Chain A
Amino acid sequence: MQLVLQIIANGLLIGGLYALLAVGLTLIFGVLRVVNFAHAEFMMLGMYGAYWLWALYGLDPYLSVFLVTPVIFLLGVAVDRLIVRRSIGKPDVTVVFATLGLSIFLQNAALTLWRADIRSVSTFATGSVFVVGGVRLSVAMTVSFAVALLFALALWIFLTRTMYGKGIQAVAQNRRAAALMGIDVKRAYMITYSVAVAAAGAMGVLVAPIFTIFPRVGQTQIVTIFVIVVLGGLGSVPGAVIAALLVGIIRSGAGFLFGTAWGELAYFAVFLLVLIVRPQGLFGRRGAEVYGG
């Protein structure tokens, strides 16, 4: 029983980390109809931000997150203006490969600038553990978990309770009509994209003390995040959160039962199955899968 609880706790914690990435990715898709293949690269940049501030100035990641996140936000603004905005409404090939190109670019720019060396960061939280009812929870992961859920909640409230949030939803549902409501559609795109990638960057900072940092670290996450957002229904924020937690638990459970490698296979198989049987995802709206571009 203890073991089962521990497996679930592990899954939930890691799922919370995924959630912060997945919420942003799903939001970008929902509003811009762009699958942001470069999403996890912003997490990688966030991790490097945390590393350099820590290595050069001894800044704790829990402080540097307030510096790095705005920088990544600005980077998001630039990327939106230069790349993403130009691909919106274009053929699938543009929409898919523009951000895929960005991902290759950022990954290798990091490789060229900072080499493949593996780096790591520590904070007071590294290695500290709470024990709740015999279940051990890493402090660092619990912090990131809490931030992820708070972010998702804040985003959800923003989208459904504020006028501007509803404006962004309006853009997601019909660009032309939204423009006719006086909504600055380009600005909505920019804000959506930048907020989402800034969240990925923040997540990078927060997990820097948990994972090691190297240029391809984003790649270790991105496919899992895709699985999550499709499972949750592309475009659905609550769906992404629930699916992230679910995937976390499935992975940790399947990994324990079948071994990591075959557990991995199992969950990709589930992913394919969901795509085939219920492409709108578990919580998505029917028809979303045929929106395409």
Chain B
Amino acid sequence: MRFKINIKDLIFGVAIILILISIYLAFIYTPTHTTMGDVQRIFYFHVASAWLSYLAFGVTFVTGIFYLKSKDFKWDKIAFASAEIGIVFCTLAITTGPLWGKAVWGAFWRWEDLKLFITLVLWLIFIAYLALRANAKSKVSKANLSAVFGIIGFICVPLSFAANRIWQQYHPTVIATSEGSLQSSMGMALGISVIAFTFLYIYLLISKVEIDTMREIIEEIKQKVGG
């Protein structure tokens, strides 16, 4: 237990340091974007948040499969924690996306932009996932049903991505080429911020799982003491 806490704090420390480095890189080290100006600097943490939410939902998907195979509640706990963290960062990604969009395109939201669209779909699916868990009647059915739903939801995302591509050909628009003029220093800044957020994710996941485990144990003791 002692050792585990140390690892958790270590990860938190690494995450903080990496975040500070990436803030430095994002604001000072990288040059101002030639066409989009300074506002392009939103990009580094916007993309990192989006990445973190994809990673988190992916973990929910994989641990859902592990749970169904093993019926071990440990996996269910991780799946739930990861989904919640995913929702938080997905929310950050879909609020910062429009802010950037407004500056670059002049509009907050472009329904034609696939990345925005898919991130929104993911957000809806995992909001529904959390609603499912909140409405489950027992611990067993909560774990079973949410694992199944998480798997279905995650599988459908690439399919939805593909389906919406044809829908967009139907309404042709100019695709913003943000990556088109990405310089190598910008790429590195992005890379560092993505790594920083990945460490942040691991820290949050461990904390959340620990809290949920502790809450469960306390509930159990309370029932014993009360009865």
**Chain A bound to chain B:** no
Contact surface of B with A, Cβ cutoff 8 Å = none
Contact surface of A with B, Cβ cutoff 8 Å = none
